Amino acid sequence: MSPVSAVHEFGRVFLLTVPLIVGGVFHMVAVKADILSYFKKPIHQRWFGQNKTWRGFLVMPLATWPGVLLARSLEPLFDLNTPLFGDHSAILFAFLLGLGYCLAELPNSFLKRRLGIREGQTSDRYKWFFVVLDQADSAVGCLLAYRLLLPVSAVTMVVAVGFGTILHLLINVTLYFAGIRKNPF
């Protein structure tokens, strides 16, 4: 990969993660401030636990929308060969990303409930597996949502999942130390 190609690839990955960063932070603020508490009802208590609520499915698309607008405004700075966000509605992107983010977290929660791991906790036995999975699941869901609208290459997908997972972990730790999250992982 040439240096110019590598810069374009990094630009694509960065721009793809911007809406998720903004959406995730806004979502945590909404949870902490108990915004839209009426929708804080579990989707299915026994399957997914009490933390997977209808509020997430409402807040994440709304919270992701400013991130899509920000990524779209930053796109010209990266001088990409082909635009990422230009041809589609920001609202459509936000809706699909928010939905992908939330849906991708459900299998992980379902698995944890089957293993007897409580909501918001990690298993001592499988700790690092679930720490990574907790960060990667939403990144994978969002990239699948992107694939519905964008010609994202396999290389971009793999790099974005890795970058998104690490970034998600760093943001969660930062939010924990800022007092917004209950635990760092």
- Separation of alpha carbons 173 and 91, rounded Å: 29
At residue 43's C-alpha, the angle toward residues 166 and 94, to 5°, is 50
- Identify the pLDDT of residue 4: 58
Model pTM? Answer: 0.85
Separation of CA 43 from chain center? 19
Strand partners, 53: 42
- Identify the pLDDT of residue 38: 94
Q: Is 116 left (phi over 0), alpha (psi -120 to 50) or beta?
A: left
Round the average pLDDT of the chain to a whole number and report it: 87
pLDDT > 90: percent of the chain: 40
Task: With H, G, I as helix, E, B as strand and everything else as coil, classify residue 88.
Answer: coil
Largest pairwise CA distance in the chain: 52
Task: With H, G, I as helix, E, B as strand and everything else as coil, classify residue 181.
Answer: coil
Provide mean pLDDT across the span 173-183.
Answer: 83
Checking if the pLDDT of 95 tops 70, the result is yes
pLDDT digits (tens, 9 = 90+) for 100-130: 999 999 999 999 899 888 887 777 787 888 8
Confidence of residue 145 (pLDDT cuts 50, 70, 90): very high
User: Can you tell me which residue has the tokens 């924990």?
Assistant: 176
Provide mean pLDDT across the span 87-98.
Answer: 91
User: Can you tell me which residue has the tokens 């694509």?
Assistant: 12
Burial class for 128, CB neighbours closer than 10 Å (0-12, 13-18, 19+): exposed
Checking if the pLDDT of 185 tops 70, the result is yes
- Identify the pLDDT of residue 9: 78
Separation of CA 121 from chain center? 19
Q: Who contacts 89 (Cβ-Cβ below 8 Å, separation ≥6)?
A: none
DSSP state of 42: B
Cβ proximity of 164 and 145 under 8 Å:
no
Confidence of residue 1 (pLDDT cuts 50, 70, 90): low
- Separation of alpha carbons 144 and 116, rounded Å: 29
